[in-house]
């Protein structure tokens, strides 16, 4: 239920299938992002962290949330790792004729055109990264720690849910999210670092938008 509320309640703000097929490049809207930030991202984070810090759940103590050296390590590994995964999936997408697969094309978001909107974009990317990492990595992996003893299954299930929540990006967007979800889960289990993987996730999203912008200019 929490998964559906958090990651499918904002469906009205997502592009329709027909619009994606006609134009897979979406313009960035500052107004839409501000609306999503205050009506979705911040309330979503507040809900997740209320559940995590709730005394009955005992998932984490407040001291565990302080940034540590392991956050720098997981970021240093996570950011380039996500880029490599993204490049591999992009090469796969380029090698496949999407029109013959029956899948939606992979969509991209166009970069902003002024400094103020870039600031909104950065805040939005980091906020969404923290929201997704808080739930898919921190909350689910902690929650399943005593329920699913088989570690590969404990990693694969959140990765599958993570991929499903990116279905609006098309088939290759889901593949990218699934592989990234496994990779980020391994980093979280290894380094116990939520901040590092959140920074890596947010910076990767920004990197993709900048890269697409440069390709468009070229």
How far is 130 from 41, CA to CA, in rounded Å? 9
- Cα 134 to Cα 31, 52, 107: the distances in Å are 25, 9, 25
| DSSP summary character for residue 8 | S
How far is 18 from 149, CA to CA, in rounded Å? 43
Q: Would you give per-residue pLDDT tens digits along the chain (218 residues)?
A: 778 878 876 543 444 434 444 445 666 778 888 988 999 999 999 999 888 887 665 566 666 677 888 999 999 999 999 999 999 998 888 887 554 444 444 555 666 778 888 899 899 999 999 999 999 999 998 888 878 878 899 999 999 999 999 887 888 889 999 999 999 999 999 998 889 999 999 999 999 888 877 665 55
User: pTM of the predicted model, to two decimals?
Assistant: 0.85
- Cα 62 to Cα 20, 42, 66, 104: the distances in Å are 42, 19, 8, 42
Distance in angstroms between the alpha carbons of the first and the last residue of the chain = 44
Number of CB atoms found within 10 A of residue 154's CB: 18
Parallel, antiparallel, or unpaired for β 108-109 and 25-26? Answer: parallel
Residue 96, sorted as left (phi over 0), alpha (psi -120 to 50) or beta, turns out to be beta
């Amino acid at each position: 239920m929490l998964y559906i509320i958090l990651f499918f309640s904002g469906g009205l703000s997502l592009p329709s299938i027909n619009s994606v097929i006609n134009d897979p490049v979406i313009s960035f809207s500052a107004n839409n992002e501000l609306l999503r930030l205050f009506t979705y991202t911040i309330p979503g984070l507040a809900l997740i962290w209320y559940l995590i810090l709730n005394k009955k759940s005992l998932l984490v103590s407040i001291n565990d949330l302080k940034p540590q050296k392991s956050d720098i390590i997981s970021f240093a590994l996570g950011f380039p790792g996500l880029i490599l995964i993204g490049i591999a999936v992009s090469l796969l997408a380029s090698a496949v004729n999407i029109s013959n697969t029956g899948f939606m094309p992979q969509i991209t978001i166009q970069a902003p055109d002024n400094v103020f909107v870039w600031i909104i974009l950065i805040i939005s990317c980091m906020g969404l990264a923290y929201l997704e990492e808080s739930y898919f990595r921190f909350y689910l992996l902690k929650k399943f720690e005593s329920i699913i003893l088989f570690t590969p299954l404990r990693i694969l299930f959140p990765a599958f849910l993570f991929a499903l929540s990116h279905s609006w990006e098309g088939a290759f967007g889901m593949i990218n999210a699934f592989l990234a979800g496994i990779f980020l889960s391994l980093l979280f289990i290894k380094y116990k670092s939520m901040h590092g993987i959140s920074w890596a996730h947010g910076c990767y999203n920004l990197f993709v938008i900048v890269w697409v912008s440069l390709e468009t200019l070229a």
